Amino acid sequence: MNGNIQLYSFLLSMVALVICITIHEFAHAFAAWKAGDETPHAQGRISLNPIDHLDPMGTVMMVVSSISGFGIGWGKPVRINPGNFRSPRWDNFRVSLWGPLSNLITAFVVGIVLRMWGNSMSSPMAMFMLILLQVNIGLALFNLIPIHPLDGSHIMSSLLPYESARKYDYFMARHGMLAFIGLIVLGNRIFPIIIGIPARFLMHAFVGI
């Protein structure tokens, strides 16, 4: 019985991750397109079809992390050309921010639904909505970490003064992937602090638990 519940929870987490990643990547693509870059549109990324956004390695990470009980992953990066932006630094900031922000907005909406109708939902639906809320918050916070290739690195670069941003980008180009791998390897120790604490705060703010 316990095994069935764990399998059911795993499957719900996978579905939630696919939904959240699709929303996240769509938001990046749409924001870039609105900022003047036609690249995402030409590549078919302005879409809510999950197949257009899933990344093979990110999908594997979704499966592995969901089995371990955490549940994180990433989609296929949206290719953009900042040279097409009307205001390159500002638009790069907005495009990068819209990924995590779209997940937080989705989490906020799910939280409202749970507050208003959670008691009248079936147990499976309430469970799925709660997982969807958790995954959206987790994905947003994960992507805000300022390490390449996460959105947080682009947000940080856009906020820093030009010379500091240039040095930061150079450092991330050389060492960012190694830092990212270290982040994943040490995730069980680091994530409860850098993601778990703010996630609990947001959970309480959105749905009161």
What is the token pair recorded at 160? Answer: 């820093």
Dihedral of alpha carbons 100, 103, 105, 108, sign: negative
Please say if 25 is a catalytic residue.
Answer: yes
How far apart CA 36 and CA 150 sit, in angstroms, is 22
What is the token pair recorded at 23? Answer: 């929303």
Selected catalytic residue, list 25, 37, 91, 151: 25
DSSP state of 46: S
Write the CA distances from 88 to 41, 84, 92, 154, 164, integer angstroms. Answer: 18, 8, 6, 12, 17
How far apart CA 165 and CA 94 sit, in angstroms, is 16
Q: Catalytic residue numbers?
A: 25
